[in-house]
């Protein structure tokens, strides 16, 4: 066995006299140290010189960067880029171009010659400064989460120093009600990402929402109720144990998307929506908005 990173590993073997029968199960435990983390952190700057996949002629660039080919299509790729559970949809790349023309940098999820999917064409155009990398940031059409192989392909002579993704908090993303980390209570059902027919004493919990230094945010709640008003208790507790409790009065006549200011204790928090006795609510989803961006 060859370990690709630090940690403990288990090798399991199953044996049986027939394919549908297991007579013996054996397990051995292994550990590896000093190999390092096999993944690249999407939110820490990744030098282009760390590429482990390529096609075409790739040259050395300044400051541990690379240079794409002038004469042919060329590509560099990076295996096992880790975006975590929250992920990101904004990428910044440092580029030095020989002139001020517009250049198209193709961005792929996976190796383009092995079924990789092109996510976007990143168009770069800045006044050229000799031997100076300049950073450009792009909004991607989708959010990347988990582990990915990322590839960049060009058909021009351009130098690339590296790239990094914007670290984003799940607090500012839109969440479907069915994506709750924990869901429990007396009466509810899940359907197509929604939590419907919410009745007495139902709680939906989301963990690890980072509100930074915010003390008040705008909560946008999406759902429906047959009641004139369905009251929802919004409880937000940070890792230091400080809790802020707000009441969201969802009114039938105001439509399926409503907003209300809620208090937050700041920092990394757990968010809990509590539906009290007498509730009749179909919960579609929610998102938080900074007060200055609402």
Query: CATH code at 148?
Result: 2.60.120.260
Residue 100 has pLDDT above 70, yes or no: yes
Note the pLDDT tens digit of each residue in 25-74. 788 887 777 665 578 999 999 999 999 999 999 999 888 899 999 989 99
Clarify whether residues 162 and 197 are in a common domain: no
Residue 294 has pLDDT above 60, yes or no: no
Domain boundary among 168, 200, 223: 168
Clarify whether residues 50 and 99 are in a common domain: yes
Residue 23 has pLDDT above 90, yes or no: no
Clarify whether residues 126 and 70 are in a common domain: yes
Number of domains comprising the chain: 3
Note the pLDDT tens digit of each residue in 101-159. 999 999 999 999 999 999 999 999 999 999 999 999 999 999 999 999 999 999 999 99
pLDDT value at residue 6: 63
Clarify whether residues 95 and 114 are in a common domain: yes
Domain that holds residue 145: 40-168
Pairing mode, strands 74-82 and 40-41: parallel
Cβ-based neighbours of 254, under 8 Å, separated by 6 or more: none
Clarify whether residues 107 and 62 are in a common domain: yes
Clarify whether residues 162 and 54 are in a common domain: yes
- 70 within 8 A of 60, measured Cβ to Cβ: no
Clarify whether residues 4 and 117 are in a common domain: no
Nearest to 211 by CA among 159, 255, 263: 263
Clarify whether residues 69 and 91 are in a common domain: yes
The alpha carbons of the chain give a radius of gyration, in whole angstroms, of: 25
- pTM to 2 decimal places: 0.70
Q: How many CA atoms lie within 13 A of 16 on its CB side?
A: 8
What mean pLDDT comes out for the span 167-177? Answer: 90
Clarify whether residues 149 and 199 are in a common domain: no
Residue 248 has pLDDT above 90, yes or no: yes
Clarify whether residues 106 and 65 are in a common domain: yes
* Cα(203)–Cα(273) distance, integer angstroms: 6
Clarify whether residues 44 and 153 are in a common domain: yes
Clarify whether residues 227 and 250 are in a common domain: yes
């Amino acid at each position: 066995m060859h370990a690709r990173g630090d940690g403990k590993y288990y090798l399991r073997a199953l044996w049986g006299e027939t394919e549908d029968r297991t007579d013996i199960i054996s397990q051995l435990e292994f550990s590896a140290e000093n190999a390092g983390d096999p993944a690249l952190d999407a939110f820490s700057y990744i030098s282009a010189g760390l590429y482990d996949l390529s096609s075409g002629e790739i040259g050395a660039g300044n400051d541990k960067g690379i240079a794409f080919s002038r004469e042919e299509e060329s590509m560099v790729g990076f295996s096992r880029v880790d975006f975590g559970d929250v992920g990101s949809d904004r990428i910044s790349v440092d580029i030095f171009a020989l002139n001020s023309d517009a250049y198209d940098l193709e961005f792929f999820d996976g190796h383009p010659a092995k079924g990789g999917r092109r996510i976007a064409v990143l168009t770069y155009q800045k006044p050229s400064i000799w031997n100076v990398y300049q950073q450009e940031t792009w909004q991607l059409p989708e959010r990347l989460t988990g582990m990915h192989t990322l590839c960049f392909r060009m058909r021009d002579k351009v130098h690339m120093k590296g790239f990094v993704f914007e670290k984003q908090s799940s607090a500012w993303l839109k969440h479907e009600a069915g994506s709750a980390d924990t869901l429990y209570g007396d009466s509810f059902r899940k359907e197509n990402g929604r939590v419907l027919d919410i009745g007495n004493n139902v709680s939906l919990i989301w963990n690890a929402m980072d509100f930074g230094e915010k003390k008040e945010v705008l909560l946008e709640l999406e759902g429906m109720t047959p009641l004139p008003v369905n009251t929802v208790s919004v409880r937000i507790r940070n890792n230091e144990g400080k809790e802020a409790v707000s009441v969201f009065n969802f009114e039938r006549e105001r439509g399926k998307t409503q907003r209300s200011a809620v208090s937050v204790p700041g920092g990394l928090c757990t968010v809990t929506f509590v539906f009290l006795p007498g509730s009749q609510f179909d919960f579609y989803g929610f998102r938080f908005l900074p007060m200055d961006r609402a």
